[in-house]
Every structure is written in structure tokens, then in C-alpha cells.
Amino acid sequence: MWVLQALAIMLSIQAGVLDLVEVPPVVRSLPVALPAPVNLPAVLPGSPGLNDPAKNRMLPPKRPGAPSRGGKCAPAARYFLSSDKLQAYLLSILPPQIEDMVKCDKVNMEGVLGDILATMQDSNLLSILDITSLLQGGGGLGLGGLLGKEGNEDPSKPSSGSKATGGLGQLLPEGLPGKEGLGGLLNLGGGKGSGKGLLNGDGLSNVVKPLDDIVENVDSLKAAVQDKVKSVVPENIKDPFSDLLNMDIQETMLKLKVKQVKVGSTDINMGADGIKVLSEVTADVEGEGLLGPVFTLLQFQSVMDVTMNIAVSSNNTQCVNLDVQDTHMHVKEMNIQLLQTVTETVPLPTSLPLNDIIPIVLTAKMNENLEKSDSCGIVLSDFNDCKNTTGLFGYQVHTARISPKGLSIDYCVKANIDNKTVPVPGGRLPPDPKNANVSITTASSALRTLVKYVAKQSSVQMNDLEAQITYIAFAPQENNMLRLLYKVDITKDSQPYATGETKLFISHASKILNSKLVPDVKLTRSEHSVVPPETKEEVEGIMAEVTRKAWSRFNELYKKMSIPDGVSSNTLTNSDVKLLRSNDLQAAS
């Protein structure tokens, strides 16, 4: 019957007939099941759009930018840094920076948490503490021991006098005076005298003295425990335990401060799209002003993940750096730890019923504060000092890329000879040495550019003879030797007269010390031949002068030879420069 009446009411509303200011008696009599009120704040600070499910998850990282590319030249040099060395650098530099970021004033983790707790001003301690786990924790030394509720005891039954003394009773060694009065002091059993022992003062004076003796004689029991225990039993409070459990949160949390941040583990994944970092972090936020019988400290411990993407950037210069992108803090849980000091400090993690809300608000607000801050972010400025260097060869970044093997930087190369800039042709570079941490490779075209320039500058005139190098080539030999071959056209009175051929054998023992090339080349021997042979005696002098001039010029320029800067935090400190079969130069460590 009432269903039909309700239907009639709905139709009347649609027709605009019924005035809803006065509720009809039929509706007033309908049974309604109301849920029990929940003592939670309606609006949490700094959490706009909290009900948006998309904001309750970790923010997806932005896609890293494409590898940095320079001009259209073909690379003629490469610097390589292995993934092991790169990860070692990140593992040494990231954890302290992550800790500083979480503790940063502008991220304001403690302030955000304080604002959340401040909204619970109508709540008491029981509304946020999972009191069941407290009553079961600590082996009778927590609130369960003090209230006579052991972990396996039915909380609906009256507590027994013997178990009621278990908590503080374990604090008093056998034989100390006053221990026998503890049962009277904490007579919280279900009998008629429940609670009277605490208020009539019997045994109270006998407990304070033993507590003083414990603090003095047992190193593991801190003085703060005694002070907190005393504060529970002031004479003017009739029910101190009730007052403790119903203490207003704002009275207990006078101040919040991030005391310690610790990075537990850091995983680094290197791929073609950059470096992905995941760090597990715990942050302890301490509160001052808590009154408790056996606990000296109330800690809020946040467990979070810090993620970031790291890409390479060069801005088309000779320097490459690491750019930290998409730093994100994801608070997974917020625990309360009650640190108990008896023989040692024992953390008792206590879950928050609000664990589904507090981490979400902290995550959103802390990331918002981090994004607004200009001083809390992670900057890897010491990865590369990016100094402008000069030398015989100039290097400009062509491509910088990250791969599972490590960081590779390819360079365009130009030779700066006699105030002239000569592009160095690029080509296919040899692979990086196996198991190398750091390596530098310079294409054979760099040495060829140098040799060709020397050949053009080695013309000689002597009496009526003139010699000019018309062909030059070089090839590697055993034991890091270099054979340089060149041909000379010799004219007499401007007419072709003879053709000479010279082979120079050069030892190569150059090194890279502290990222600088230390040249060491020596001319060990030379061989000459002339066509026609009958002109040999006449042209020997001019051919020797060509050799002297060419070698002098080559040696002078080679000593000015420079190498790519690479990364200043990972350089070659003492490495031999090897001449490969491909005529490329390579050094590694």
C-alpha cells in the first residue's frame, strides 16, 4: 500500500502539485536505516578533486624527449660510458638528493600532514589509532598490558587484576619496594573496587621511587618513560586512562617535523627511452607533546615511492648532461609507530584507518609543492662541468643516447689548423671495447685530415729542384706502429725530373691522462726510393728535406691534438691510445 502512496507522491512532484516543505505523514512513518556517523572531516585541505579516481593513482610519467641530435654531419668521434659506471654515479648521488627533496621546506610534508590532522579537531586519539593492534602489541607492555587486556583476552570481559598490572609490573624488577603496591595502584578489574586503587593514592608514592631507581640503573629505560608514566596519574584526574584515550589530537600534536628520511632501495632501468629510477623511501615525521604511559615518542612514518625519468640533453654543443624529468612522489601508506623503550626501542607499526585518504592527499599536495618549487628538485649538475675547451680538433655533439649498454655520445669533428676550420669526414666507427667502463674513439679520418694538411705544407725548393708530395697514405703495423707512405714529384727547371717514394715508420705510445691526450710519437726509421734510379744522388738532398719538414710539421700538430670531453665525472685517467687495424684511434679503461 505504501508503495502506491510513494508513487503517487512522485507523480505529484512532477506535476508541481505537492509542496515539499511539509513532509506527508505517510513518508514520515516510513522506516529509514541511517548509517552510524563517521568521525571524519568532510573536506581535507589542499585536495581539490579528491574524488577524482584519476588523481588517486600515480601520475603517468611524461614521455622522454628524443635523443639529442646535432647537425647533419657524419660522426667522427665517440665517447662511451658503460651502464655500470652510470648506475654507480646515480646510486651515489641520487639517495641524498632524494632525502633532501622529501625534507625540503617548500615540499612541506609536515605541514600538509599537520593540516590533515588539524581537520580532525573533533576526533580523539581513538579515531585515528587502530587501538586493537595496540592492545595486542608489546607483549603486555603496551596499552593492553596497562589496561589488563592481553592479545588473546576477550575485550568484552572485565580485566583481571593480575593482568592489569602486567604492563607496568614488567617495568619493575623483582624485589624493588613498591612493586607489591602496583596491584592496588592499577586495580582496574571488574569488581566493585575497580579504579579505586588509582585514586586513593595507596601505593602511588611507593611506585615513583622504584621508577626513579629503574631510570638510574637500567640503561635501556629512558628517563622519558618515567615522566610519561607520572603524567598519567595526576591526583586531580579521576580517570587518567580515559582522558588519555580521548585526548584531543591537537593537544597531542603540538609540532610536526620531518626528522629522518631514508632511501631503502633504488632500482635503475636503462633503455632506449632514457633512464627510469624507482626509489623506496621512508620518512619519519615526529610529533612533540604526546602524553602516554610507556611510549616516549609518536612517529608518523610515511612509506613512499619516488620515481623519475632521466634523459640526456646537449643543446647541440660539445657538452652533454643528464636532465631529471617527471619527478613524482607516491605516498603508499602512512603508519604510526609507537616507540617503546624498555630494554631497547621496539617499533610497533600501527595502521591508520585513514590510510586510504592520507596518502592520496600527501601525494597530490607534495607533488604540487614540488612542481611549484625552484629549489627542491633534483639536479645532476656535477655529472658534467661543461667547460668550453679548445684544441686542434673541435667536437660538437651529433647524437647523445641512452641504451641498456650505457651512454654514447657521437661527435662531429672540425680541425682548427692555422686559423682555418677544416671539416673532418665521418663514417662508420668501430664498436666500443668489450667490458670497457669508459672509452674514446676517434675516426681515422681525423688523422688523415692532419696528414693531408701536412702533405700540402711540405713543398720544398732547392737550387733548380722542386719537390711536392702528391700522394700520402698510412697503415697500422704491429706493436702500435704506424707506417706512413708518401710519393713526391720532383721537377727540375719546372720540368718533370723524378718520382720519389718514402716510407716513414712511426712508433705510437700516446696516452690519455686525466682526460688530456699526451702525445708520444717517434720516427724510428725511413726508406726512400727514386725513379729513375740514376737521379737518386741528385735528389737525395731534397727528398730528405721533404721528410724533415713533413715530420716536423706532423709532430708539431699532433702534439696539439685534442680528444672529446665526454663526461667530466667519468674520464680516462691513464689509458693507452691504440691504433686499430681500421686506422681509428681508441682508448679505454
Q: At 23, is the secondary structure helix, strand, or coil?
A: coil
Residue 218 to residues 114, 140, 144, 228, 394: CA-CA distances in angstroms? 36, 19, 23, 17, 71
Alpha helices in 125-264 (DSSP H): 125-128, 131-136, 143-146, 161-164, 166-169, 182-185, 196-199, 204-217, 223-232, 240-245, 249-252
| Stronger pLDDT, 304 or 385, i.e. the higher one | 304
Residue written as cell 706493436? Answer: 479
- In this prediction, residue 521 carries a pLDDT of 93
Residue written as cell 586495580? Answer: 187
Q: What gap in Å lies between CA 218 and CA 583, rounded to an integer?
A: 76
What DSSP designation does 354 have?
Answer: T
User: Across 352-508, where does the E strand assignment appear?
Assistant: 393-403, 406-417, 420-423, 438-442, 460-462, 465-477, 481-492, 495-508
Q: What gap in Å lies between CA 450 and CA 392, rounded to an integer?
A: 10
Please state which of the ranges 52-66, 317-331, 348-362, 572-586 shows the lowest mean pLDDT. 52-66
Residue 450 to residues 453, 455, 457: CA-CA distances in angstroms? 5, 9, 11
| Stronger pLDDT, 35 or 410, i.e. the higher one | 410
- In this prediction, residue 337 carries a pLDDT of 61
* pLDDT exceeds cutoff 80 at 347: no
Predicted TM-score (pTM) of this structure:
0.67
Q: How confident is the model at residue 301 (pLDDT cuts 50, 70, 90)?
A: confident
Mean pLDDT of the chain: 72
> Rounded to an integer, what is the distance from CA 417 to the centroid of its chain?
44
* pLDDT exceeds cutoff 50 at 7: no
Q: What gap in Å lies between CA 348 and CA 211, rounded to an integer?
A: 23
Q: Classify domain 433-588 at the CATH superfamily level.
A: Bactericidal permeability-increasing protein; domain 2 (3.15.20.10)
- Average pLDDT value for residue range 557-577: 92
Q: At 63, is the secondary structure helix, strand, or coil?
A: coil
- Average pLDDT value for residue range 402-421: 93
- In this prediction, residue 579 carries a pLDDT of 92
Task: List % helix, strand, coil for the chain (3-state, nearest 5).
Answer: 30, 30, 35
State yes or no: cis peptide before 45, omega within 30 of 0: no
* pLDDT exceeds cutoff 70 at 11: no
- In this prediction, residue 353 carries a pLDDT of 52
- In this prediction, residue 357 carries a pLDDT of 77
- Average pLDDT value for residue range 139-153: 37
Q: At 578, is the secondary structure helix, strand, or coil?
A: strand
- Average pLDDT value for residue range 226-253: 44
* pLDDT exceeds cutoff 90 at 572: yes
Q: What gap in Å lies between CA 138 and CA 371, rounded to an integer?
A: 42
* Top-ranked range on mean pLDDT: pick from 4-13, 129-138, 280-289, 398-407: 398-407
Backbone dihedral angles phi then psi of residue 553, each to the nearest 5 degrees:
-70, -40
As beta bridge partners, residue 278 has: 267, 307
- In this prediction, residue 190 carries a pLDDT of 40
- In this prediction, residue 84 carries a pLDDT of 96
Maximal CA-CA distance, the chain? 136
* pLDDT exceeds cutoff 60 at 14: no
- In this prediction, residue 355 carries a pLDDT of 64
Question: Residue 580: CB partners within 8 Å, gap ≥ 6?
Answer: 430, 476, 586
Q: What gap in Å lies between CA 349 and CA 337, rounded to an integer?
A: 5
Given a contact cutoff of 8 angstroms between Cβ atoms, the answer to whether 319 and 397 are in contact is yes
- In this prediction, residue 314 carries a pLDDT of 83
% of the chain surpassing 70 pLDDT: 58
- Average pLDDT value for residue range 380-407: 90
Please state which of the ranges 83-87, 110-114, 374-378, 501-505 shows the lowest mean pLDDT. 110-114
- In this prediction, residue 83 carries a pLDDT of 96
* pLDDT exceeds cutoff 90 at 569: yes
Closest C-alpha to 320, from 80, 577, 76: 80
Residue ranges of domains in the chain: 1-35, 83-148+244-382, 433-588
Q: What gap in Å lies between CA 237 and CA 229, rounded to an integer?
A: 14
All 3 cell numbers of residue 242?
Answer: 580515559
% of the chain surpassing 90 pLDDT: 47
* pLDDT exceeds cutoff 50 at 377: yes
- In this prediction, residue 92 carries a pLDDT of 96
> Rounded to an integer, what is the distance from CA 37 to the centroid of its chain?
43
Q: What gap in Å lies between CA 196 and CA 125, rounded to an integer?
A: 25
* pLDDT exceeds cutoff 60 at 46: no
- In this prediction, residue 387 carries a pLDDT of 80
Q: How confident is the model at residue 288 (pLDDT cuts 50, 70, 90)?
A: low
Closest C-alpha to 186, from 156, 149, 146, 242: 146
> Rounded to an integer, what is the distance from CA 12 to the centroid of its chain?
65
Residue 166 to residues 150, 196, 314, 320, 341: CA-CA distances in angstroms? 9, 18, 68, 66, 16
| Stronger pLDDT, 259 or 17, i.e. the higher one | 259
Q: How confident is the model at residue 531 (pLDDT cuts 50, 70, 90)?
A: very high
| Stronger pLDDT, 187 or 82, i.e. the higher one | 82
* pLDDT exceeds cutoff 80 at 89: yes
Alpha-carbon Rg for the chain in angstroms: 41
Where is 531: in which H helix or E strand?
strand 521-531
All 3 cell numbers of residue 180?
Answer: 607489591
- Average pLDDT value for residue range 467-473: 94
Residue written as cell 630494554? Answer: 343
As beta bridge partners, residue 329 has: 306
Where is 259: in which H helix or E strand?
strand 255-271
* pLDDT exceeds cutoff 60 at 373: yes
* pLDDT exceeds cutoff 50 at 530: yes
Backbone dihedral angles phi then psi of residue 463, each to the nearest 5 degrees:
60, -120
The predicted-structure confidence for 474-529, as pLDDT tens digits, reads as follows 999 998 999 999 999 999 999 999 999 999 999 999 999 988 899 999 999 999 99
